């Protein structure tokens, strides 16, 4: 490497730049159409309101939380990685500069030029050999300062003219013969420089030399910064991918909530009936799908409650119209002055009121049969229940009452509802038989179920009436006019279904009928008498 000696050069001061032209005066606004501006402002407020509503959606909030968390983690990772790499690059620069300093000190101690083998006679000669015998790396340059004056620099292009940098010269001129080597970062016109300056002296020489070696921080950190930019670009792409995938995934997961919202907005007393058939099936086993299933179950219960209420009102309006018409008709034609007429009308009205009371009670039972508190289950001895019901049934009429069989089993059931059902069947049997006819109660365990039956020897049930008599106000053609409300067997069927069972009819016209409550037994709860019910 050749060495270019430095000469004093005058600084050239350029002409001052021309002053920028003054800014143009502001032009006042002319007559603006204020009505149009108000419309634009109103439209802007509407757009802003919709934008705020869109930002408040669960989908956007979840997506923002995911993306922001991923962005924060990525930014933290990138920052830590950048700091670590910058620190490693700075350590490499310092190690390289320390190596340069040690080489110069070794050369000064030996006092021998490695190129010629001759000894150095002056500090000037030592500095010249040091500058000329070095191959600079990219971004690296040197400057030899002799007695505070720049003396030598490498020939050829240099990243920065060190002799023209005030910060570099201040460091070089501040060193004394006994000063330690200076290692610091200084600013320059080409960016920050990592600088090492070491004083140089020789025995017998009064000259003080300083060798300045610098490395460009920008050049040394170029690879780190390019890596950071690449990382930022890749991270931005990953965040965009996360946002796109998250948007799709959250939309898929929250689709049941969107259907819930649409269903909720459409729900009404008249819309419940058509909701079940029109809804889309809920798929998956996550929490949102469970919420959708629970919500659909709630709507099913609401639909059932509305249906029961509507049926109750229809039945009450239909069945109460006749007794009320009878009461009103007799009251209108009653002669208040005739005691016998008043007495007869009073008895008839009381009879109709009693009929209305029984009808309302029966309708109330049917309306509450679907409620979860319709039953009060407990452990029941089926045999004792049958005996107690038999004793109560004796008061229903003068019949030949029998017990066919006594069941020996414990079960989990509501004893009052079962007794109500058996007494209703016994009352029906009395209604369709004559005094002295046989009416029998019995029970047995068959096929894992408890069967409780009421048997009579009345006219029986025609096959075409077998299904209709269990409906509300359904009557058999063999029935006796004016007896019952037509709700008894519907109540019995509701009680059996509430226990998870059913009612079975066995009948032949002219040979009586047997109504049987078939109640399933739970092996983990029910047990034979003498065992232990769990």
pLDDT in tens, 286-308: 777 777 778 777 777 777 767 76
C-alpha of 72 from chain center: 22
Q: Tell me which of 128 and 265 has the higher pLDDT.
A: 128
Secondary structure of residue 149 in the 3-state scheme:
strand
- pLDDT of 313 > 80? The answer is no
CATH topology of domain 66-224: Beta-Lactamase (3.30.450)
All residues at 6 or more sequence positions from 191 whose CB lies less than 8 Å from its CB, including other chains = 216, 217, 218
The region of weakest confidence among 236-240, 253-257, 453-457 is: 253-257
The region of weakest confidence among 211-225, 227-241, 512-526 is: 512-526
- pLDDT of 441 > 90? The answer is yes
* pTM summary value: 0.49
Per the CB < 8 A criterion, the answer to whether 381 and 529 are in contact is yes
The average pLDDT across 469-480 equals: 62
CATH classification for the domain delimited by 267-374, as one of 1.10.1740, 3.30.200, 3.40.50, 1.10.287: 1.10.287
The average pLDDT across 146-159 equals: 88
On the CB side of 124, CA atoms within 13 Å amount to: 9
Query: From CA 27, how far away is CA 310, in angstroms rounded?
Result: 74
Structure tokens at 242: 């996360």
* Edge-to-edge strands, sheet with 182-186: 3-5, 149-154, 140-146, 209-216, 193-200, 182-186
DSSP H or E segment with residue 182: strand 182-186
- pLDDT of 249 > 50? The answer is yes
Q: Tell me which of 302 and 505 has the higher pLDDT.
A: 505
pLDDT of residue 517: 94
- pLDDT of 75 > 90? The answer is yes
Q: Where are the domains of the chain?
A: 66-224, 267-374, 378-528
The average pLDDT across 14-18 equals: 37
Per-residue pLDDT band for 20 (boundaries 50, 70, 90) equals: very low
C-alpha distances in Å from residue 272, one per residue of 265, 276, 309: 11, 8, 13
Backbone angles phi, psi at 93, to 5 degrees: -60, -45
All residues at 6 or more sequence positions from 263 whose CB lies less than 8 Å from its CB, including other chains = 275, 279, 295, 299
The average pLDDT across 467-488 equals: 62
Per the CB < 8 A criterion, the answer to whether 101 and 181 are in contact is yes
Dihedral in degrees, nearest 10, Cα atoms 199, 202, 206, 211: -30
The region of weakest confidence among 258-267, 343-352, 495-504 is: 258-267
DSSP H or E segment with residue 481: none
pLDDT of residue 529: 53
Q: Any bridge partners for residue 455, and if so which?
A: 440, 514
Backbone angles phi, psi at 102, to 5 degrees: -65, -35
For the chain, helix, strand, coil in percent to 5 are 50, 15, 30
pLDDT of residue 80: 94
Q: How many CB atoms lie within 10 A of CB 56?
A: 9
Per-residue pLDDT band for 137 (boundaries 50, 70, 90) equals: confident
- pLDDT of 487 > 50? The answer is yes
Query: From CA 94, how far away is CA 196, in angstroms rounded?
Result: 9
**Which residue in this structure is represented by tokens 């006594």?**
406
- pLDDT of 267 > 50? The answer is yes
Per the CB < 8 A criterion, the answer to whether 423 and 470 are in contact is no
CATH classification for the domain delimited by 378-528, as one of 3.40.50.11540, 3.40.50.280, 3.40.630.40, 3.30.565.10: 3.30.565.10
Closest by Cα among 107, 104, 103, 98 to 183: 98
Query: From CA 517, how far away is CA 442, in angstroms rounded?
Result: 10
Same fold, 66-224 and 267-374: no
Per-residue pLDDT band for 412 (boundaries 50, 70, 90) equals: very high
Structure tokens at 236: 């931005």
Apex 246 CA angle, 241 and 249, nearest 5: 130
- pLDDT of 531 > 70? The answer is no
Q: pLDDT tens digits, residue range 395-411?
A: 998 999 999 999 999 99
- pLDDT of 382 > 90? The answer is yes
The region of weakest confidence among 144-148, 314-318, 510-514 is: 314-318
C-alpha distances in Å from residue 351, one per residue of 70, 326, 336, 358: 80, 11, 19, 11
Closest by Cα among 198, 211, 183, 196 to 124: 211
DSSP strand E in 332-371: where? none
Q: Any bridge partners for residue 213, and if so which?
A: 142, 196
pLDDT of residue 47: 55
* Edge-to-edge strands, sheet with 409-413: 378-381, 409-413, 527-528
pLDDT of residue 330: 76
Closest by Cα among 521, 413, 504 to 461: 504
The average pLDDT across 474-483 equals: 53
Percent of the chain surpassing pLDDT 70: 76
Per the CB < 8 A criterion, the answer to whether 400 and 389 are in contact is no
Per the CB < 8 A criterion, the answer to whether 398 and 436 are in contact is yes
- pLDDT of 18 > 60? The answer is no
- pLDDT of 46 > 70? The answer is no
The region of weakest confidence among 22-26, 59-63, 77-81, 239-243 is: 22-26
pLDDT of residue 403: 94
Structure tokens at 11: 């600084």
Query: From CA 362, how far away is CA 154, in angstroms rounded?
Result: 115
Query: From CA 404, how far away is CA 441, in angstroms rounded?
Result: 6
Secondary structure of residue 147 in the 3-state scheme:
coil
All residues at 6 or more sequence positions from 260 whose CB lies less than 8 Å from its CB, including other chains = 291, 292, 295
pLDDT of residue 294: 81
Q: pLDDT tens digits, residue range 166-215?
A: 999 999 999 998 899 999 999 999 899 999 999 998 888 888 999 999 99
pLDDT of residue 440: 95
pLDDT of residue 534: 37
Structure tokens at 431: 């209604």
The region of weakest confidence among 80-94, 255-269, 408-422, 467-481 is: 467-481
Q: Average model confidence (pLDDT) for the chain?
A: 80
DSSP strand E in 234-360: where? none
């Amino acid at each position: 490497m050749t060495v270019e000696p430095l000469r004093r050069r005058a600084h050239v001061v350029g002409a001052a730049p021309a002053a920028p032209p003054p800014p143009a005066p502001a032009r006042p606004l002319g007559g603006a159409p204020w009505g149009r501006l108000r419309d634009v402002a109103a439209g802007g407020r509407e757009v802003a309101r919709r934008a705020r509503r869109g930002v408040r959606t669960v989908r956007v909030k979840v997506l923002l939380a995911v993306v922001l968390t991923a962005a924060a983690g990525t930014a933290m990772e990138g920052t830590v990685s950048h700091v670590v790499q910058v620190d490693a690059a700075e350590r490499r620069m310092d190690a390289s500069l320390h190596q340069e300093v040690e080489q110069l000190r070794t050369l000064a101690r030996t006092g021998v030029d490695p190129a010629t083998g001759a000894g150095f006679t002056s500090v000037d000669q030592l500095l010249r050999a040091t500058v000329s015998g070095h191959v600079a790396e990219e971004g690296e340059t040197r400057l030899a300062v002799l007695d505070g004056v720049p003396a030598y620099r490498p020939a050829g292009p240099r990243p920065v003219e060190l002799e023209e940098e005030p910060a570099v010269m201040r460091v070089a001129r501040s060193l004394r013969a006994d000063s330690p080597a200076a290692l610091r970062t200084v600013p320059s016109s080409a960016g920050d420089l990592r600088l090492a300056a070491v004083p140089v002296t020789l025995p017998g020489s009064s000259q003080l030399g300083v060798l300045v070696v610098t490395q460009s921080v920008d050049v040394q950190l170029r690879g780190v910064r390019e890596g950071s930019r690449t990382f930022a670009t890749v991270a931005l792409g990953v965040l965009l991918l996360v946002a796109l995938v998250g948007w799709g995934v959250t939309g898929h997961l929250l689709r049941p909530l969107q259907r819930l919202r649409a269903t909720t907005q459409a729900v009404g007393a008249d819309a419940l009936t058509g909701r079940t058939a029109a809804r889309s099936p809920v798929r998956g086993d996550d929490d949102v799908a469970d919420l959708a299933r629970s919500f659909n179950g709630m709507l099913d219960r609401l639909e059932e409650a509305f249906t029961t209420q509507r049926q109750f009102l229809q039945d009450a309006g239909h069945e109460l119209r006749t007794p009320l018409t009878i009461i009103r008709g007799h009251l209108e034609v009653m002669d208040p002055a005739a005691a016998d007429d008043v007495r007869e009308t009073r008895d008839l009205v009381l009879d109709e009121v009693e009929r209305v009371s029984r009808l309302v009670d029966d309708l109330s039972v049917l309306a509450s049969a679907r409620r979860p508190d319709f039953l009060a289950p407990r452990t029941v001895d089926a045999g004792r229940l049958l005996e107690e019901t038999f004793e109560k049934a004796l008061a229903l009429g003068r019949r030949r009452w029998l017990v066919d069989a006594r069941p020996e089993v414990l079960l989990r059931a509501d004893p009052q509802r079962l007794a109500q059902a058996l007494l209703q069947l016994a009352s029906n049997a009395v209604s369709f038989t004559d005094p002295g006819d046989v009416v029998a109660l019995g029970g047995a365990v068959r096929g894992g179920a408890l069967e409780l039956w009421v048997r009579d020897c009345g006219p029986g049930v025609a096959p075409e009436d077998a299904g209709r008599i269990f409906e509300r106000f359904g009557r058999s053609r063999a029935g006796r006019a004016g007896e019952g409300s037509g709700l008894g067997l519907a109540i019995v069927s509701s009680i059996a279904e509430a226990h998870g069972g059913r009612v079975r009819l066995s009948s032949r016209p002219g040979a009586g009928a047997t109504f049987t409550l078939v109640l399933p037994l739970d092996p983990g709860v029910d047990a034979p008498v003498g065992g232990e019910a769990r």
